[in-house]
């Protein structure tokens, strides 16, 4: 951009541009503010409506109830341990795969890449996967929350492209000095690749944290269900209630409380859901802005044609 003076047309264009972007950002942010206000408001008072930006009858009761409920607490414990385990192992294993694929001159590399790439084009589908889990006997165990999430070939491609950019000379000279492949990988490649490792860790971590499907359909044991699944069960119970209660009267919804919600008496199920949404979203909101500069580059690199 040169140092040209802005014409009136430019000014109109700019202010229109800024206004539209501002409105979009408000719509992206506002639902969370709305829920934040409701989660800190007394549930019965909230039923009167009219809470938009801040709580009217401030209370911490919703959060206290949420954190004192063994099922909620347990689902968080499951989600946190699952996310940690999957993220650590997935990043390490994917890096190992990506490093191997980035080694030039590897005999048969074309065929090996196709072996992995094909899985992104075609898959067995839901039922064969379900039968596989059954045969492996990992249904309804912690394993089903971990093992199937370990690899994603797109992540490997992003890492491989990053590794391709590391000068060959660095690892070559280490090899001449007698370093093994493993120590080249661990001592030279990995430390240089922190940006891409952080990006992939974010992608994997967020994906696993947000995954409700596995818990919903492959886990029966209530003590093993992740937080996202638990939240989904709370909503489907609620929408079922608003279906059945003719006038959509919240009063009858409370009388129809299911077993899970019985233990939460004292706060409305509605307020508890708002609270739950805030609790489940907070870790993500805290993490992603800090990794933004990495994943913007990561997406760029991963999108380049092979």
Partner 1 sequence: MMPRGVIIPGFEQVRRNKKFAKIWYFRHIYLFLLPAIVWFLVFAYYPMYGILIAFKDFKYNLGILGSPWAGFKFFEQFLNDSSFYDVLRNTLSISALKLIFGFPAPLILALMLNGVMHERIKKVFQTISYLPHFVSWVVVVTLMQKILSPNVGLVNDIRYQMGLDPIFFMGMPSLFYPLVVISDIWKGVGWGSIIYLAALTNIDPHLYEAAEIDGAGRWSKLFKITLPCLTPTIGILLIFSLSGILNAGFDQIWLMQSPSTLSVSEILDTYVLKTGLQQGQLAYSTAIGLFKSAISLILIVAVNNISRRVSDVSLW
The continuous run of DSSP H or E covering 24 comes out as: helix 8-39
Least separation in angstroms between CB 132 and partner 1: 5
All residues at 6 or more sequence positions from 226 whose CB lies less than 8 Å from its CB, including other chains: 75, 78, 79, 82, 145, 211, 212, 214, 215
Q: How far apart are CA 208 and CA 211, in angstroms?
A: 5
Q: Nearest approach, Cβ of 288 to partner 1 (angstroms)?
A: 5
Q: Does the footprint of partner 1 cover residue 165 (CB under 8 A)?
A: no
- Looking at the Cβ atoms of 29 and 84, the one nearer to partner 1 is 29
CA 92 to chain centre: 18
- Which member of 44, 63, 116, 142 binds partner 1 (CB under 8 A)? 116
Selected binder of partner 1 within 12, 126, 186, 194 (CB under 8 A)? 126
Looking at the DSSP bridge assignments, the partners of residue 58 are 41
- Sole window of 64-72, 78-86, 120-128, 159-167 interacting with partner 1 (rule: CB under 8 A): 120-128
Q: Which of 3, 70, 110, 125 binds partner 1 (CB under 8 A)?
A: 125
Q: Which two tokens stand for residue 219?
A: 């886990």
296 contributes a contact to partner 1 by CB under 8 A: yes
Q: Does 2 bind partner 1 (CB under 8 A)?
A: yes
**Residue 57 and residue 41 in contact, taking contact as beta carbons nearer than 8 Å:** yes
d(CA 155, CA 200): 6
Contact between 277 and partner 1 per CB under 8 A: yes
Q: Which of 12, 132, 170, 194 binds partner 1 (CB under 8 A)?
A: 132
Cβ atoms of residues 151 and 207 within 8 Å: no
Among 71, 139, 206, 254, which residue interacts with partner 1 (rule: CB under 8 A)? 206
Closest separation between CB of residue 42 and partner 1, Å?
Answer: 14
Candidate list 68, 123, 220, 221; residue touching partner 1; CB under 8 A: 123
Q: Quick check: 14 binds partner 1 (CB under 8 A)?
A: yes
Q: Does 305 bind partner 1 (CB under 8 A)?
A: yes
How far, rounded to the nearest angstrom, does the alpha carbon of residue 61 sit from its chain's CA centroid? Answer: 28
The CA-CA-CA angle for residues 227, 228, 231, to 5°, reads: 85
């Amino acid at each position: 951009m040169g140092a040209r003076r802005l014409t009136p047309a430019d000014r109109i264009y700019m202010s229109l541009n800024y206004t539209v972007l501002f409105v979009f950002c408000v719509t992206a942010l506002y639902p969370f503010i709305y829920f934040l206000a409701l989660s800190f408001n007394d549930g019965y008072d909230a039923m009167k409506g009219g809470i938009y930006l801040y709580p009217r009858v401030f209370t911490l009761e919703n959060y206290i109830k949420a954190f004192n409920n063994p099922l909620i607490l347990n689902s968080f414990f499951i989600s946190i341990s699952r996310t940690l385990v999957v993220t650590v192992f997935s990043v390490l294993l994917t890096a190992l795969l990506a490093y191997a694929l980035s080694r030039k001159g590897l005999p048969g590399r074309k065929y090996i890449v196709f072996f992995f790439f094909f899985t992104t084009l075609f898959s067995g589908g839901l039922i064969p996967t379900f039968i596989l889990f059954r045969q492996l006997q990992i249904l309804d165990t912690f394993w089903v929350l971990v093992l199937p999430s370990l690899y994603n070939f797109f992540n490997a491609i992003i890492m491989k492209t990053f590794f391709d950019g590391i000068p060959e000379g660095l690892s070559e000279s280490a090899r001449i000095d007698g370093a093994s492949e493993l120590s080249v990988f661990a001592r030279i490649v990995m430390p240089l690749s922190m940006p891409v490792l952080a990006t992939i860790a974010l992608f994997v971590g967020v994906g696993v944290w947000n995954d409700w499907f596995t818990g919903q359909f492959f886990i029966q044991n209530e003590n093993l269900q992740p937080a996202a699944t638990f939240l989904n069960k709370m909503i489907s119970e609620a929408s079922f209630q608003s279906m059945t209660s003719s006038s959509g009267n919240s009063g009858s919804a409370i009388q129809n409380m299911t077993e899970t919600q019985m233990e939460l008496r004292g706060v409305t199920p509605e307020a508890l859901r708002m609270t739950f949404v805030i609790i489940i979203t907070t870790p993500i909101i805290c993490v992603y802005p800090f990794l933004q500069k990495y994943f913007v580059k990561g997406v760029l690199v991963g999108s380049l044609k092979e």
